[in-house]
Amino acid sequence: MRRSAAAALFLSLLAWHAMVPARGAEPARRSAAELMDVLMWNREPVGGPFSLVDHEGRRRTEADFRGKLLLVYFGYTSCPDICPTDLMEIARALTLLGAESEAVQPLFITLDPERDTVAHLAEYVPNFSPRLVGLTGGPAAIRQAADAYRVFFETGVGVNGDRTIDHSAFIYLMDRSGAYLGFFPPGTSAERMLTIIRPHLAQP
């Protein structure tokens, strides 16, 4: 997904979030400041259970990653620019953390399970980091995971007639219990990620 499309989707998803009320609240349009507060400070549920298959063919659920901070990213391997750029920044953040990176687990969940098979992910994810876990599964399982993280995605056709997937491109930060801490927008640098991640490393 190109950066212009990513920016448009970022704004459209923010607009969608603005129409979603907090639990027990009446529907109301939020200001941009209120909306960012909701997303950044865990005012609404983000994340949840999933059952997928990793790039080594093992069944994995969210419970397998308890005890570590999670960086969860949804995308697809044919994504031309924003996905590999963000994955490279995630990998760079782990490198900058050094030994502390053992407390952080990055996950790449494909939105294109038809093409992103276990074998294909096994070739793709090591290009970024040996720590990166790629996850795929059936369409229903992918949709369940995407819905839990409020990920927008839809299949389209590119200028050359190739299949594309328009999608929101947030990097979700989850705590050791799987609770939502916040998100990084598309294009966030590794250095910026670390300013948010490091304070959580000291917490049990």
Greater confidence, 194 or 17? 194
Find residue 73's DSSP bridge partners. 108, 171
23-35 mean pLDDT: 40
- The tens digit of pLDDT for each residue in 107-135 reads 999 999 999 999 999 999 999 999 999 99
pLDDT of residue 24: 35
Distance CA 68, CA 204 (A): 10
Q: How remote is the C-alpha of 182 from its chain's centroid?
A: 11
Tokens of 46: 């983000």
pLDDT of residue 75: 93
Residue 86 near residue 103, CB atoms below 8 Å: no
Residue 148 near residue 48, CB atoms below 8 Å: yes
- The tens digit of pLDDT for each residue in 50-109 reads 999 999 999 999 999 999 999 999 999 998 889 999 999 999 999 999 999 999 999 999
Residues 164-188, buried b or exposed e (16+ Cβ, 10 A)? bbbbbbbbbbbbbebebbbbbbbeb
Residue 192 near residue 184, CB atoms below 8 Å: yes
Q: Would the pLDDT of 188 be above 70? A: yes
Q: At what angle do helices 190-201 and 82-97 cross, to 10 degrees?
A: 50
Q: Would the pLDDT of 167 be above 90? A: no
Structure confidence at residue 154 as a pLDDT band (50, 70, 90): confident
Residue 186 near residue 86, CB atoms below 8 Å: yes
Distance CA 164, CA 84 (A): 15
Domains of the chain and CATH, by start: 3-201 (3.40.30.10)
- Residue 48 has, within 13 A of its CA and on its CB side, a CA count of 14
Which is nearest to 135 in space by CA: 194, 67, 71, 201?
71
Out of 62-71, 79-88, 142-151, 167-176, give the one with best mean pLDDT.
62-71
The pTM of this model reads: 0.79
Residues in contact with 43: Cβ distance below 8 Å, sequence separation at least 6, in sequence order: 22, 37
pLDDT of residue 41: 56
Instruction: Indicate the pairing of strand 69-75 with strand 133-136.
Output: unpaired
Q: At what angle do helices 32-40 and 3-18 cross, to 10 degrees?
A: 90
